[in-house]
Amino acid sequence: MQATVLTPDGVRRAMDDAIDLFVIETPLQLLNALEAHSYFTSRKSALLIIVREAFPKSYFQKLLSELPERPWTEIRFVRMKTRFGPDPTERGIISRLTDKYHEFHRLMNRKRLERQLLAIPKHARVFLGNYLDYSKSHFRHIANFLKASRIVLLDDGTDAIVVNEQRIAWANAVSRAGPEPAKDVRAWFERFKRSLRERHLEWDDRKCASVTFFSAYELETSETDCLIRNEYQFLRSRRAVQRSSKEIYVLGQCLAEDGYLNASDYLQNVVWLCSQFQREDIVYIPHPRESRETIEQVTRLTGIRVRKLAIPVEYALLTSPEIPRAVASFFCSALVNCSVIFGDGMQVYACRFDLSTLKHNRTEVKDVYDNMAAMRSPSFHVLDGVSIERDRNAVDGSDTTSKGRR
């Protein structure tokens, strides 16, 4: 996709109508949008919250009410149904009906989204909560629909690292690309159908020539992209005087629910991680999307307390008079965020488990751990659990697993 070039008259109109649009769909993206709003000194701005099944509108309204500021000129909500992929087990008429059902919801998602975007002037500066290939095409569609003058990518957990790798691969592919593809010689009816789908159904997910990462991660971007480190200056400036407790927070992840690990492997890794802090006051903080069954199994196997938080853990700790001595998890983005926000006032531990047990995304998860291991912070530690004995008895009730290196 070629970069947008404005004429002098177009530049003047863009300046007169200048607006920043922030588009988010998770609580963490909302916190990072707040931070970006402060860093980029937005004046006239709008916040568009995409509401999906995982986080209802009421969840965002509660979080907005607890933020230190609500800097956006306008806040809009748009309901979108979660995208479903094809089911390889379905065949025949059932498969075709399922495809049409998914297409109908994609059509409705696009219409609802574009109805909200019509109120935003073209050439806006756009801040996007995610930019992943395939699963987040609607974010690229927003930037293309508005002919964004600049695209800033907010962190959405460890996806920032994956997006950067995808951008690098894409930039390399573009540089190696040959001549323009041949003219479409399909029959006029086929071209007409394709045109209708592109105009009304499919997302315009062309990649922008250049994006700016606003990230807490130390990313090495492609030559066409750039990185601005998110050091959470705004949120840290709102931090009150806090005392440190003796607690250690173990942050849960929905790795079983999202299909990264079998439930037994996830539980075994939690048992091992907790074993690194024996005789410590450990508290398990479940991920909002962890199942009740997973949480109950963690309690049964470890005996530790569970404390559910209604808001992202980073903001919950910022607004608390007391913070834990340490936080620990696997490749959870909250570890990096807490390290940036609290510095040496809180120890941070990332447990690197046996990646061969992952059911998918092994390369992406390895990249996340490599990024964490390269962090230049005396308070950030990586626990090497690669050589943990695969002892299924630990998940069936045994209280020991072999310890990794601190």
Say if residue 258 is in the same domain as residue 211.
no
The confidence score (pLDDT) of residue 41 equals: 85
Final residue belonging to a domain, choices 216, 234, 252: 234
Asked whether residue 3 is domain-assigned, the answer is: no
Domain with residue 352: its CATH number is 3.40.50
User: If you search the block for the tokens 């209604």, which residue do you land on?
Assistant: 310
User: In the predicted model, is pLDDT for residue 370 greater than 80?
Assistant: yes
pLDDT digits (tens, 9 = 90+) for 143-183: 999 999 999 999 998 999 999 999 999 999 888 765 566 56
pLDDT digits (tens, 9 = 90+) for 181-215: 656 656 756 665 666 666 767 889 999 999 999 99
pTM for this predicted structure: 0.81
The confidence score (pLDDT) of residue 400 equals: 35
Asked whether residue 1 is domain-assigned, the answer is: no
The confidence score (pLDDT) of residue 82 equals: 73
pLDDT mean across residues, the chain? 84
Full DSSP string of 72-135: -SEEEEEE-PPP----TT--HHHHHHHHHHHHHHHHHHHHHHHHHHTTSPTT-EEEES---TTT
* Biggest CA-to-CA distance, the chain: 73
- Domain span including residue 135: 8-234
User: In the predicted model, is pLDDT for residue 109 greater than 70?
Assistant: yes
Say if residue 158 is in the same domain as residue 266.
no
The confidence score (pLDDT) of residue 376 equals: 79
Say if residue 313 is in the same domain as residue 328.
yes
Structure tokens at 236: 């840290």
Final residue belonging to a domain, choices 234, 262, 283: 234
The confidence score (pLDDT) of residue 267 equals: 96
Region 113-135: mean pLDDT is: 93
Asked whether residue 403 is domain-assigned, the answer is: no
Asked whether residue 68 is domain-assigned, the answer is: yes
Say if residue 16 is in the same domain as residue 65.
yes
Place 86 in a pLDDT band, splitting at 50, 70 and 90.
low
pLDDT digits (tens, 9 = 90+) for 346-365: 999 999 999 999 999 899 99
- In whole angstroms, give the CA distance from residue 107 to residue 260: 30
- In whole angstroms, give the CA distance from residue 165 to residue 232: 23
Final residue belonging to a domain, choices 177, 207, 234: 234
SS3 content of the chain, % helix, strand, coil (to 5): 40, 15, 40
Q: How many domains does the chain have?
A: 2
DSSP category for residue 139: H
Say if residue 71 is in the same domain as residue 114.
yes
Q: How far apart are the first and last CA of the chain?
A: 47
User: In the predicted model, is pLDDT for residue 14 greater than 60?
Assistant: no
